[in-house]
């Protein structure tokens, strides 16, 4: 290896403080830590605010082989890449990971695998369960593997309700999603049946033990999918914020 190559390698290592950040020419492949994603395989935009944006890409998790001498790809995953813009937003959105860790064992909640961070660029990569698309995609006939007759509205709403029931009934800390809408409800095939997976806990809130509400400085959510409580700008959020949201039209 030439002196120039050694210098570049050292600078890249120093730049990321030990985080692997691989950029090869104009390649679309990005590697941070053990998460690899392809920027050409965009699965959707989950824009959060004017200062923070999030995109979901198809990717993989890397792990060492049993021999420990090589790095191999594990199963395909969805990679949510959050560009936070500043340190304050960076720490705020790390909370999404903590919420996912609390609730991803339920069959109607998207499964979380791992996360990596680039502390200098204020980026967070979250690796999670790869699904076929969202309920919005189903409504727009964009999921080839699932047709309109493969799952009824009743079964779809039943699974959404089961996921919400689990979040609200968790002990000792319940979780309020606060942004249920067709683009935040994923679909995949499990044992030849269509399965619903609630996702995107970016603005969710955890209720402290034995509390039924929490005070928020600002109301959040999506226009057209907000509950009456949010529309009335009530300062306290409760599980009722999620109840009026799951509708399909």
Q: Which tens digit of pLDDT belongs to each residue from 97-128?
A: 788 888 878 999 999 888 888 877 788 889 99
Closest by Cα among 27, 123, 22 to 82: 123
Distance from C-alpha of 190 to C-alpha of 130, rounded to nearest angstrom: 12
Q: Two tokens at 158?
A: 């039943």
Distance from C-alpha of 203 to C-alpha of 128, rounded to nearest angstrom: 17
What band does 159 get if pLDDT is binned at 50, 70 and 90? very high
Radius of gyration of the chain (CA): 20
Using one digit for the tens of pLDDT, what is the confidence trace for 44-59?
A: 876 555 456 888 999 9
Asked if the domains at 3-128 and 133-243 fall in one CATH topology, the answer is no
Distance from C-alpha of 21 to C-alpha of 17, rounded to nearest angstrom: 10
Contact 115, 97 (CB under 8 A): yes
CATH class, 3-128 region? alpha beta
pLDDT, residue 118, reads 80
Using one digit for the tens of pLDDT, what is the confidence trace for 200-244?
A: 887 778 877 666 656 555 556 566 566 666 555 555 666 666 776
Q: In 3-state terms, what secondary structure has residue 57?
A: strand
For the annotated catalytic residues, the residue numbers are 179
CATH number of the domain located at residue range(s) 133-243 in this protein: 1.10.510.10
Return the domain boundaries, the chain.
Answer: 3-128, 133-243
pTM here? 0.75
Question: Is the predicted pLDDT of residue 12 greater than 60, yes or no?
Answer: no
Residue 118, strand partner residues: 123
Distance from C-alpha of 46 to C-alpha of 93, rounded to nearest angstrom: 13
The sheet carrying 123-128 orders its strands as 21-22, 29-32, 35-45, 53-64, 71-83, 123-128, 112-118
Using the Cα atoms of residue 236, residue 48, residue 247 and residue 155 in order, give the sign of their dihedral: negative
Residue 123, strand partner residues: 83, 118
């Amino acid at each position: 290896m030439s002196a120039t190559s050694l210098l570049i390698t050292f600078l890249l290592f120093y730049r990321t403080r030990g985080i692997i950040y691989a950029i090869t020419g104009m390649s679309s492949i990005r590697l941070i830590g053990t998460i690899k994603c392809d920027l050409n395989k965009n699965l959707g935009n989950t824009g959060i605010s004017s200062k923070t944006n999030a995109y979901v890409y198809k990717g993989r998790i890397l792990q060492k082989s049993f021999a420990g001498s090589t790095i191999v790809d594990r199963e395909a995953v969805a990679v949510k890449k959050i560009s936070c813009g500043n340190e304050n937003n960076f720490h705020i959105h790390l909370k999404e990971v903590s919420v996912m860790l609390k609730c991803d064992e339920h069959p109607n909640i998207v499964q979380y695998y791992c996360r990596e961070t680039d502390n200098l660029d204020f980026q967070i990569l979250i690796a999670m369960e790869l699904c076929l698309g969202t309920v919005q995609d189903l409504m727009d006939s964009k999921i080839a593997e699932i047709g309109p007759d493969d799952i009824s509205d009743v079964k779809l709403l039943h699974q959404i309700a089961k996921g919400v029931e689990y979040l609200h009934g968790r002990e000792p800390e319940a979780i309020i999603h606060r942004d249920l809408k067709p683009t935040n409800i994923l679909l995949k095939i499990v044992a030849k049946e269509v399965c619903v997976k609630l996702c995107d806990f970016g603005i969710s809130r955890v209720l402290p033990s034995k509390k039924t509400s929490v005070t928020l400085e600002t109301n959040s959510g999506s226009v057209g999918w907000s509950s009456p409580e949010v529309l009335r700008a009530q300062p306290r959020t409760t599980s009722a914020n999620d109840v009026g949201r799951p509708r399909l039209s």
